[in-house]
Structure 1
Amino acid sequence: MPREIAILGAYVPAVVVLCLGGAALTWVLDRLLAATGLYRFVWHPSLFRASLLVCVCGLLGLAVYR
Protein backbone atom coordinates (compact mmCIF):
# COMPACT_ATOMS: atom_id res chain seq x y z
CA MET A 1 0.00 0.00 0.00
CA PRO A 2 1.37 3.44 -0.84
CA ARG A 3 2.32 5.78 1.98
CA GLU A 4 0.03 8.53 0.62
CA ILE A 5 -3.28 8.34 -1.22
CA ALA A 6 -4.53 11.14 -3.48
CA ILE A 7 -8.08 12.16 -2.52
CA LEU A 8 -9.50 15.03 -4.58
CA GLY A 9 -6.00 16.18 -5.44
CA ALA A 10 -4.74 16.24 -1.85
CA TYR A 11 -2.33 13.67 -0.54
CA VAL A 12 -3.62 11.96 2.59
CA PRO A 13 -1.53 9.52 4.63
CA ALA A 14 -2.73 5.95 4.23
CA VAL A 15 -2.84 5.61 8.02
CA VAL A 16 -5.67 8.16 8.13
CA VAL A 17 -7.71 6.07 5.71
CA LEU A 18 -6.97 2.96 7.78
CA CYS A 19 -8.08 4.70 10.97
CA LEU A 20 -11.35 5.79 9.35
CA GLY A 21 -11.96 2.20 8.30
CA GLY A 22 -10.99 1.06 11.79
CA ALA A 23 -13.46 3.51 13.31
CA ALA A 24 -16.25 2.09 11.15
CA LEU A 25 -15.28 -1.47 12.07
CA THR A 26 -15.10 -0.52 15.76
CA TRP A 27 -18.59 0.99 15.54
CA VAL A 28 -19.94 -2.30 14.14
CA LEU A 29 -18.16 -4.30 16.85
CA ASP A 30 -19.48 -1.90 19.49
CA ARG A 31 -23.06 -2.40 18.29
CA LEU A 32 -22.60 -6.19 18.34
CA LEU A 33 -21.17 -6.14 21.86
CA ALA A 34 -23.99 -3.89 23.06
CA ALA A 35 -26.66 -6.09 21.43
CA THR A 36 -25.31 -9.26 23.02
CA GLY A 37 -25.05 -7.62 26.45
CA LEU A 38 -21.33 -8.22 26.92
CA TYR A 39 -20.84 -4.68 28.21
CA ARG A 40 -22.26 -5.89 31.54
CA PHE A 41 -18.92 -7.60 32.16
CA VAL A 42 -16.79 -4.54 31.31
CA TRP A 43 -15.71 -2.30 34.16
CA HIS A 44 -15.45 0.94 32.15
CA PRO A 45 -17.29 0.84 28.78
CA SER A 46 -15.84 4.14 27.51
CA LEU A 47 -12.29 3.01 28.15
CA PHE A 48 -13.06 -0.36 26.56
CA ARG A 49 -14.40 1.37 23.42
CA ALA A 50 -11.30 3.56 23.16
CA SER A 51 -8.96 0.59 23.58
CA LEU A 52 -10.99 -1.39 21.04
CA LEU A 53 -10.48 1.43 18.52
CA VAL A 54 -6.73 1.49 19.16
CA CYS A 55 -6.49 -2.30 18.80
CA VAL A 56 -8.51 -2.41 15.57
CA CYS A 57 -6.56 0.45 13.97
CA GLY A 58 -3.29 -1.13 15.07
CA LEU A 59 -4.26 -4.50 13.59
CA LEU A 60 -5.27 -2.89 10.31
CA GLY A 61 -1.99 -0.99 10.18
CA LEU A 62 0.02 -4.13 10.87
CA ALA A 63 -1.91 -6.09 8.27
CA VAL A 64 -1.34 -3.47 5.57
CA TYR A 65 2.27 -2.47 6.27
CA ARG A 66 3.56 -5.98 6.95
Structure 2
Amino acid sequence: MTGHLDVYGVYVPVLLVAMLAAYGIKSLLATVLQRTGFYRWVWHPPLFNLALYIIVLGALFNLLPRM
Protein backbone atom coordinates (compact mmCIF):
# COMPACT_ATOMS: atom_id res chain seq x y z
CA MET A 1 0.00 0.00 0.00
CA THR A 2 1.51 3.32 -1.07
CA GLY A 3 -0.51 5.57 1.23
CA HIS A 4 -2.08 7.60 -1.60
CA LEU A 5 -4.74 7.02 -4.21
CA ASP A 6 -4.69 8.78 -7.56
CA VAL A 7 -8.16 10.14 -8.32
CA TYR A 8 -8.07 11.91 -11.69
CA GLY A 9 -4.64 13.37 -10.98
CA VAL A 10 -5.38 14.33 -7.36
CA TYR A 11 -3.62 12.32 -4.70
CA VAL A 12 -5.93 11.38 -1.83
CA PRO A 13 -4.60 9.75 1.35
CA VAL A 14 -5.80 6.19 1.92
CA LEU A 15 -6.57 7.08 5.53
CA LEU A 16 -9.06 9.73 4.37
CA VAL A 17 -10.86 7.20 2.18
CA ALA A 18 -10.91 4.69 5.05
CA MET A 19 -12.27 7.35 7.42
CA LEU A 20 -15.10 8.26 5.05
CA ALA A 21 -15.98 4.61 4.50
CA ALA A 22 -15.89 3.94 8.26
CA TYR A 23 -18.20 6.88 8.88
CA GLY A 24 -20.71 5.53 6.36
CA ILE A 25 -20.60 2.03 7.82
CA LYS A 26 -20.88 3.41 11.37
CA SER A 27 -23.90 5.47 10.37
CA LEU A 28 -25.62 2.41 8.92
CA LEU A 29 -24.83 0.37 12.02
CA ALA A 30 -26.05 3.15 14.32
CA THR A 31 -29.32 3.37 12.39
CA VAL A 32 -29.86 -0.38 12.68
CA LEU A 33 -29.03 -0.32 16.39
CA GLN A 34 -31.37 2.64 16.95
CA ARG A 35 -34.28 0.87 15.23
CA THR A 36 -33.75 -2.33 17.17
CA GLY A 37 -33.77 -0.49 20.51
CA PHE A 38 -30.18 -1.33 21.41
CA TYR A 39 -29.47 2.21 22.61
CA ARG A 40 -31.80 1.73 25.57
CA TRP A 41 -29.05 -0.43 27.08
CA VAL A 42 -26.16 1.95 26.27
CA TRP A 43 -25.07 4.29 29.03
CA HIS A 44 -23.62 7.07 26.84
CA PRO A 45 -24.68 6.84 23.16
CA PRO A 46 -22.22 9.46 21.77
CA LEU A 47 -19.32 7.69 23.46
CA PHE A 48 -20.57 4.35 22.14
CA ASN A 49 -20.81 5.84 18.62
CA LEU A 50 -17.21 7.08 18.86
CA ALA A 51 -16.01 3.65 19.98
CA LEU A 52 -18.01 2.01 17.17
CA TYR A 53 -16.40 4.38 14.64
CA ILE A 54 -12.89 3.62 15.90
CA ILE A 55 -13.54 -0.13 15.78
CA VAL A 56 -14.87 0.06 12.22
CA LEU A 57 -11.98 2.30 11.13
CA GLY A 58 -9.44 -0.08 12.64
CA ALA A 59 -11.05 -3.05 10.92
CA LEU A 60 -11.09 -1.25 7.56
CA PHE A 61 -7.50 -0.11 7.90
CA ASN A 62 -6.39 -3.67 8.67
CA LEU A 63 -8.35 -5.04 5.70
CA LEU A 64 -7.16 -2.45 3.15
CA PRO A 65 -3.67 -3.91 2.54
CA ARG A 66 -5.25 -7.27 1.71
CA MET A 67 -7.44 -5.80 -1.04
Do Structure 1 and Structure 2 share a fold, with TM-score over 0.5?
yes
Deviation, structure 1 residue 36: 0.1
Gaps of 5+ in 1: none
1:31 alignment counterpart: 31
Deviation, structure 1 residue 3: 1.7
Deviation, structure 1 residue 38: 0.3
2:15 alignment counterpart: 15
2:50 alignment counterpart: 50
Pairs aligned (count): 66
Secondary structure of 1:43's counterpart equals coil
Question: Considering only aligned residues, what root-mean-square deviation do their CA atoms show, in Å?
Answer: 1.3
Alpha-carbon distance between aligned partners in 2 of 1:55 and 1:24, rounded to the nearest angstrom: 13
Any idea what the Cα deviations from partners look like across 1:2-35, whole Å, max 9, x if unmatched? 4210124221111110110110000000000000
**Moved beyond 6 Å, runs of 4+:** none
Gaps of 5+ in 2: none
Secondary structure of 1:6's counterpart equals strand
Task: Tell which deviates more after alignment, 34-43 or 1-10.
Answer: 1-10
2:65 alignment counterpart: 65
Deviation, structure 1 residue 43: 0.3
- Give the TM-score, by structure 2 length: 0.88
- Give the TM-score, by structure 1 length: 0.90
